[in-house]
Structure 1
């Protein structure tokens, strides 16, 4: 077999890349080791930046997003017994976030690619990447071989793409955090119209949602925590303790139908290119979910990669391909800092660090009382415009 771009991974990065390339008349084949049902129901992030929403709408895969997505014009920072709204409509006019589950984005992209005759292959075994440092790279899987001009590694942090790069080529930066997130989905109407980020002495909590009937919650827990230690009653009791800290707020409870513990880490591998292999999304970088940047960075990566490949196929110029890693990493490192900052601002660290505790409260007071500080949070949260970080 032969195609122009071989894509490893059918997550949002790989699927969106395949779709955007198709719109430019560039062929691709997507290889995914998991089954379609698993991929379409894998619970992940749900906060889309303004630029991500615009990208999906412009690519004609945003109809359901516009119908069902929840557009938010602000978030609440809750601490010290009070709630403080960060008003996007005032601080970054015309820009907002949309709450729409990552698995829904994946469903929309799969449907679009299959409707267009896209070549998506699920449950593919033993994918391997070869001859990446030549102009004739190829992929093998099972007993088959796929020749291509370029390979896009969109297979996540634990995928095969990044480890294929020879030792010594990449510089890897990593930070592990001394806590994790316990995330749940519950069949209960959200208790607030916008996301609530709560900082308490008991630890961080996040009130989010997926639809008018489904709520999403996160609790800061110990690193390596076993989800079996958290029966439903304990989860609701702890969420109430961390969220019912302002007068008049009462947390609605309901059936919990999904729960999992997510480790917190920051990671960047650079450069995001080796020969004809280009990394995108989680295969190149991971951010703690506090800043809601993971999916959005993947979209930014594949926008740049699509533009670069279109230039190469259009006039043979490799300038954008050569600049791909630098351009991506500028935005990646901005998002890394923002995600680290939000994490350190809102989570409880060592209980015997009263100095750090006071610094957190001081900065929270600053962010919630200064329009300039709040605007910095807001513009990073809704996403910096494309082009501004390239």
Structure 2
């Protein structure tokens, strides 16, 4: 299949696979899609190492990077900024979180606890507004050879767009409603990702079925990818039918063997249905779809404090989630009750863990099959409205 997206980034299939696991990124790109590394929680040094490894594996095949680059940065020392922000967190919130840890018997971390990149993070990443950090991430990104750079949240700042232009790298941006798309188009992005409310992580309230054609209508020559609810060939075919140039899939890779999520998380995902997700602000301070668990129920219970805005809420709960992840990984049943992860409503289609390459193949082949089936619905020789006869 050839679309404006495949032409833009040089891939065989109109499918982008977003994931924080470098191995998933590699396998999506090897299978003919565009693997996109979710790099929002990397230091520049870590990002450099991961992109180097990805390029070594891909040997010239295209891949993308998704960065969190804020529109405004601060010149305040990171340690001073983080300390000042932590002081703004009310004591009742600290007491509530620690009370949850006590109620569920979640032990403190020990020196021997080892977490992957979903766990402990550098203090500078708690705000991600340090000018040195942001500049360093951009320096590293453009010292490599990505085929696409995506802005994870909000309109990419002019400096990011300028550097991308200088290196010939297209810039993508995620949007959740028409007004977002209008701002991104005015900024000059090269690709829009229309993420419907079905999607995992930070999402809006408009469904993919409505959002995609609405964004495609105003995008003009700028390609649009549909996101939210893209996990099968039928869903990718639907995205193309809605006017998108392809699909942006994220949650489906959580059912891959290469994804970094722990066995405790994956077992809950495999057991979940499509109605077992909820949009909540309890992890990041911004609305994000995730698997419902006792953690979210506790925050929704009478007497629980209101969640805080970004970046205060993630600063408040970061250590608690490290403790939950470690305890759940050891098989602690109470921690497993609390355990959750960002995932879209397609979680209900997860049946077993499969290789990433197999998932890509099934999506692409299923899409091609459905598109061929759809052509049979139009009788031979029947004129198509709006199209001149050859």
Same fold (TM over 0.5): no
Higher strand share: 1
Alignment TM-score, normalising by the size of structure 2: 0.26
Q: What TM-score does the superposition give when structure 1 sets the normalisation length?
A: 0.26
